[in-house]
Structure 1
Amino acid sequence: MTRVLHVTQAVGAGVESAITQYVRSTPDLDHSVLALRRDDRERVGGNGDLSWTYADRPLTFARMVRSAGRDADVVHLHSSVAGAVGRVAVDRVGARVVYTPHALAHLGGDRRGRAAFRFVERMLVSRAAAFGAVSDHEAEELVSLGADPAGVLVLPHAVEPGGVARSFDERADRAVAVGRVAWQKDPGLFAAIAGEAIGRGIQSAWRWVGAGDPDSEAALAAAGVGVTGWRGSAEVRDLVGSSRIMVHTAHYEGLPISVLESMAAGTPVVARRIPSLRGLPISTFTTLEEALAHVRRLSDPGVWQTESTAVREFVCSSYNATRQAAALRALYEVAS
């Protein structure tokens, strides 16, 4: 049985969901996870599908990655920090290294930060045998960094419809966001949209499912947004599936699982127009006024139902376990 070690510094958000999906879609592989816990408030991973091992300090994390990598056939690195640490730590230990960024860090932040992350990615590109991009846009970015196109495969997420979607009247009159409260997700824009929507009487209830930067959490609360803290995956799905819309404001992404899970639940999405979301049948915006117009439009039950049906049918046919399992096995084969 092929032994796959997943390595990540991101726990309690989309990366954890992605790893859980990979495990469920390929039960014939022997999966384990090594993670760096970066926030004491962060919900620990592990849901019965596999074991999680944690490091509490970066140096310990690097040492554990190198040691564990010796016993793995494939080391699958997730997110930019683990991607860098892992490609250095696992070098020359014999394991095949696969890297999935889940949103390349050089796509966000200030100019110097972007340049630094791009430099690191270019320097380390030869230390991975294959790359699993979560979207076409991420695949294009990896090739632009110097990755061999033949070694870059799109690794689609897999979401489950989870039964019959609730109707408009069965849902709470609420807009929801999911993820870490951090700069990448732009909670400030979410707070601005919520504040205006509440003030104009367009949408009164707003909730952010997740946790993160305390100042940003306080700003969300001041705008009238309820911040739930980290919740288990089942509770997150229930919150999304019982809300009328999702509003996604991130500066950049790989391809957010939260958006796909919202679509699978029949919850229409209003999202900032970013490259990784192209091709999805969702409502996108570039200005606050455009966002508010979409929120107002989806308050009409007929419009909402049409969009709810369309997004659910699309995501369930395009992002499923069968497609993911085939892509994952092909990725590990390319790395061999």
Structure 2
Amino acid sequence: MNKIKVVHILHSVGGVDVSLRQILHNLDTKNFENIVIHGDSDTENEFVDKDAKPIGYYRLPIYREISVRYDLAAILKAWKIIRKEKPDLIHSHSTKGGVIGRVVGFLTGTKVLHTPQAFSFLSAESKSKRSFFLKIEKILSKGKTVLLASSQSELNRAVNEVGFPKSKTDLFNNAIEPIEKIYDLSIPKTWPDQYLCTVGRPCYQKNIEELIEVLYELNKIVDVHLVILGLGHHADHIRQVEDLIEKLNLKNKVTLLNWTTREDVLNIISKSKIYLSTARYEGLPYSVIESLALSIPSIVSDCDGNRDLIVNDYNGYCIKENNIVEFSKKINVLIQDKELYNEFSKNAKETFEKNHNIYKKIKDLESIYREQLT
């Protein structure tokens, strides 16, 4: 039997990069062949398969920002690649990968599976931009595209807001390999041994400003330090976050870290007391999945993605946006109640093993790929 050839198109950064690498590293190499089309400046790390063999790839001018020049160039080059490779299926990941993949799929008549990892219109801070991005998503939902959601919340939004028929949707929850080893930090440790942490660049989506407000409220009751990982590119709210930290006199209570290796991130999460997220929206956040895998309870905002992972009074707490006092109270509860903390910790690991262990879940994705070709 011939292998099923899948071409993946994406801007390979952050959680989107993690997602693809986890898939490629676990797909059955006897039945599937993979090719990657990604941005020319997003990652230098090679993609490898289950047998640790390098995977073929192409680079395109795929960038986060909208650019008629670069986006059209990327579509044209991707069209030429798809005509050359003749894949059975295109799997597009992320907003920009989805635009390119779906347009090229339409032009070549190739079936497309699209995984948004959070819809683009959710990132818009104004109603006009949100409406514009939503209209683009509605247009691109037509044709042969099937929405492969990374969470149930994302699937619901695809049906209720974007307009995908339920018959053109499917679900494959983000999943990772079990974390079997924690490596030493490659960066200097400058923060206390007792701390809380979050992963996410200061931007509209991650809503770090609210987390700083939570920390301020929390430090009225208990002495707590917060480590924030993920400063760097696209951290357009960094000045607001730094100004708020200074205004609230929290400079000695917060450590801001630039983008670092995934091994460093896992080390820091693993030694954190609690994982925190005040995001406004997510696809299905890998940092929260990683905290589950590491038996770390989470307290998160009640938004898409977060609510799919964290269940109140089971493995953490989901808090309504802007409820800063409640957020800080729940953190204090878990800090003070060791018995409850240990119960949530055990339940976090069980949640991971049941729903997000890719060793157990990869067969589901292989079945989805096959079903799209029947």
Check whether the contact 1:135–1:156 (CA below 8 A) recurs between aligned residues: yes
Question: How far does residue 68 in structure 1 lie from its aligned partner after superposition?
Answer: 2.1
Matches within 5 A, 1:138-153: 138-144=154-160, 145-153=162-170
Q: Determine the structure 2 residue equivalent to 1:58.
A: 71
2:297 is aligned with what amino acid? P
Q: In the aligned structure 1, how far is the partner of 2:118 from the partner of 2:267?
A: 26
Give the match's secondary structure for 1:317.
Answer: helix
Check whether the contact 2:229–2:259 (CA below 8 A) recurs between aligned residues: no
Name the stretch that deviates more: 82-91 or 312-321: 82-91
* Bigger relative contact order (CA 8 A; separation at least 6): 1
Name the stretch that deviates more: 254-263 or 217-226: 217-226
Q: Determine the structure 1 residue equivalent to 2:177.
A: 160
Q: 2:296 aligns with which of 243, 256, 267?
A: 267
Q: In the aligned structure 1, how far is the partner of 2:235 from the partner of 2:289?
A: 27
Q: Determine the structure 2 residue equivalent to 1:67.
A: 80
Q: Determine the structure 1 residue equivalent to 2:287.
A: 258
The answer to whether the aligner puts 1:34 opposite 2:37 as a matched pair is yes
The answer to whether the aligner puts 1:4 opposite 2:32 as a matched pair is no
Question: How far does residue 89 in structure 1 lie from its aligned partner after superposition?
Answer: 2.8
Change (3 A) 1:48 1:24: closer
Name the stretch that deviates more: 290-299 or 324-333: 324-333
Q: In the aligned structure 1, how far is the partner of 2:343 from the partner of 2:287?
A: 21
Question: How far does residue 323 in structure 1 lie from its aligned partner after superposition?
Answer: 4.5
Name the count of aligned residue pairs: 327
Question: How far does residue 256 in structure 1 lie from its aligned partner after superposition?
Answer: 1.0
Question: How far does residue 203 in structure 1 lie from its aligned partner after superposition?
Answer: 1.3
Higher Rg: 2
Q: In the aligned structure 2, how far is the partner of 1:7 from the partner of 1:227?
A: 32
Check whether the contact 2:203–2:235 (CA below 8 A) recurs between aligned residues: no
Q: Give unpaired runs (5+ residues) of structure 2.
A: 50-54, 62-69, 183-191, 246-250
1:58-97, CA deviations, whole angstroms, 9 ceiling, x for partnerless residues? Answer: 3432223212222122111112232123211332314321
Question: How far does residue 141 in structure 1 lie from its aligned partner after superposition?
Answer: 1.9
Question: How far does residue 207 in structure 1 lie from its aligned partner after superposition?
Answer: 2.3
1:245-278, CA deviations, whole angstroms, 9 ceiling, x for partnerless residues? Answer: 1111111112111111111111111100114333
What is the TM-score when the length of structure 1 is the normalising length? 0.87
Question: How far does residue 302 in structure 1 lie from its aligned partner after superposition?
Answer: 3.0
1:159 is aligned with what amino acid? I
Check whether the contact 2:116–2:283 (CA below 8 A) recurs between aligned residues: yes
Check whether the contact 2:102–2:145 (CA below 8 A) recurs between aligned residues: no
Change (3 A) 1:83 1:260: same
Matches within 5 A, 1:1-336: 1-9=3-11, 11-28=12-29, 29-36=32-39, 44-46=44-46, 48-49=48-49, 50=55, 52-56=57-61, 57-70=70-83, 71=85, 72-109=87-124, 110-144=126-160, 145-163=162-180, 172-198=193-219, 200-214=221-235, 216-222=237-243, 223=245, 224=251, 225-279=254-308, 280-281=310-311, 282-286=316-320, 287-300=323-336, 301-336=338-373
Question: How far does residue 244 in structure 1 lie from its aligned partner after superposition?
Answer: 1.2
Q: In the aligned structure 2, how far is the partner of 1:112 from the partner of 1:134?
A: 26
Give the match's secondary structure for 1:243.
Answer: coil
Question: How far does residue 319 in structure 1 lie from its aligned partner after superposition?
Answer: 1.4
Question: How far does residue 318 in structure 1 lie from its aligned partner after superposition?
Answer: 1.5
Name the stretch that deviates more: 226-235 or 307-316: 226-235
Question: How far does residue 215 in structure 1 lie from its aligned partner after superposition?
Answer: 5.1
Change (3 A) 1:308 1:239: same
Segments of 4+ in structure 1 off by > 4 A? 42-45
What is the TM-score when the length of structure 2 is the normalising length? 0.79
Q: In the aligned structure 1, how far is the partner of 2:204 from the partner of 2:33?
A: 35
Name the stretch that deviates more: 320-329 or 48-57: 48-57
Check whether the contact 1:25–1:324 (CA below 8 A) recurs between aligned residues: no
Identity among equivalent positions (%) equals 21
Q: In the aligned structure 1, how far is the partner of 2:7 from the partner of 2:367?
A: 17
